[in-house]
Amino acid sequence: MVAKMQTTIQRTYQIVVAATRDFGIAKDGKLPWKLPSDLNFFKEITTSTSSDHTDKMNAVIMGRKTWDSIPLQYRPLPNRLNVVLTRSTTFNIPTFENVITCSSIPSALELLAISPYSMSIDKVFVIGGGQILREVMNGSGCEAIHMTEIDENIDCDTFIPPVDTKVFCPWYSSLPVTENGVRYRFVSYVRCNCNLDSEKLKVEDFSFLPKMIFDKRSEISSGCCLK
Ligand SMILES: NC(=O)c1ccc[n+]([C@@H]2O[C@H](COP(=O)([O-])OP(=O)(O)OC[C@H]3O[C@@H](n4cnc5c(N)ncnc54)[C@H](OP(=O)(O)O)[C@@H]3O)[C@@H](O)[C@H]2O)c1
């Protein structure tokens, strides 16, 4: 008897995260900074769908501790499918509309690749926290990393790996912003495998990016392989 190979498709994803110079993202289960413009950026990038997909919503995948860290009145994050990762079989999120739980990252990405989510979900964002990002950062399914780069060393106890600049190139970097005494900028990196694909990549190949980022491509990448 010939065993049938089961092929599973997973959704690709983009990461959205704010990190300090040494890649700290949290302290004592909270964000150790108050950056309203960053929260607005997060809301806009994770909520906006492509203009031809206005009937769809995006998905945000997060670890259970990140879910717990969102104040009750703000969760689930509205107008997005909230996918909460937990290994616990007893963890019970009250039945909210637009909230599902998954027991692993691959199972979440597989679920989002099949009906009904393959039809109803536009983009998939992984939004933290540390445990989840340590697994998916720079992963093969990661198309882009939108990082709020905080130009300070703020005391943190949760860290993520740095962006692998052999695989990801900067697409856009904002001018620095200072809020509540903290200087930061918004930087978006795209997977471009500089060494391998440099002859093939075109700007149009990155139309999967949120429009607010795609339209902002700047001269910063001129030294990179993007044409
Ligand atoms: N700076 C930023 O941009 C940013 C973004 C998001 C979050 N944060 C911060 O990050 C902190 C939370 O990060 P964290 O590292 O402590 O926790 P986390 O990654 O948010 O969540 C960890 C939990 O997720 C579940 N989990 C982890 N890996 C899993 C896997 N492979 N499959 C299934 N479930 C998995 C487990 O839940 P169970 O224990 O239920 O099994 C685990 O305890 C919070 O303070 C939050 O404010 C910062």
Integer Cα distance of 9 and 27 in angstroms: 35
Q: Is 104 within the bounds of a domain?
A: yes
Instruction: Tell me the best of 92, 104, 132, 146 to mutate to test the pocket of ligand 1, counting ligand atoms within 8 Å of each CB and taking the most.
Output: 132
Question: pTM of the entire structure?
Answer: 0.94
Checking if the pLDDT of 47 tops 50, the result is yes
Query: What integer best gives the mean pLDDT of the chain?
Result: 91
Q: Which two tokens stand for residue 197?
A: 């694909």
Q: Is 80 within the bounds of a domain?
A: yes
Supply the CATH number for residue 85's domain.
3.40.430.10
Mean pLDDT on 141-166: 97
Mean pLDDT on 75-96: 90
Checking if the pLDDT of 7 tops 80, the result is no
| CA-closest residue to ligand 1 atom 46 | 66
Instruction: Tell me the best of 85, 89, 111, 146 to mutate to test the pocket of ligand 1, counting ligand atoms within 8 Å of each CB and taking the most.
Output: 85
Q: Give the pLDDT of residue 2.
A: 58
Q: Give the pLDDT of residue 220.
A: 47
Query: Which residues, including other chains, have CB under 8 Å from residue 133's CB and lie 6 or more apart?
Result: 15, 17, 25, 126, 160, 161
Q: Give the pLDDT of residue 18.
A: 98
Peptide bond into 78 cis (omega under 30): no
| CA-closest residue to ligand 1 atom 45 | 29
Q: Where are the beta strands (DSSP E) in 119-220?
A: 121-126, 142-150, 158-159, 168-173, 177-179, 182-191
Q: How many domains does the chain have?
A: 1
Q: Is 8 within the bounds of a domain?
A: no
Three-state secondary structure string covering 83-136: EEECCCCCCCCCCCCCEEEECCHHHHHHHCCCCCHHHHEEEEEECCCHHHHHHH
Q: Give the pLDDT of residue 25.
A: 98
In angstroms, what is the span from residue 14 Cα to ligand 1's centroid? 17
Q: Is 49 within the bounds of a domain?
A: yes
Question: Which residues sit with their C-beta closer than 6 Å to ligand 1?
Answer: 17-18, 25-26, 29-31, 62-66, 69, 85-88, 91, 103-105, 127-132, 135, 158
Which structural domain, as residue segments, surrounds residue 214?
A: 13-24+31-223
Q: Give the pLDDT of residue 219.
A: 47
Q: Is 1 within the bounds of a domain?
A: no
Give 111-135 pLDDT, tens digit per residue.
999 999 999 999 999 999 999 999 9
Q: Is 4 within the bounds of a domain?
A: no
Q: Is 6 within the bounds of a domain?
A: no
Q: Is 5 within the bounds of a domain?
A: no
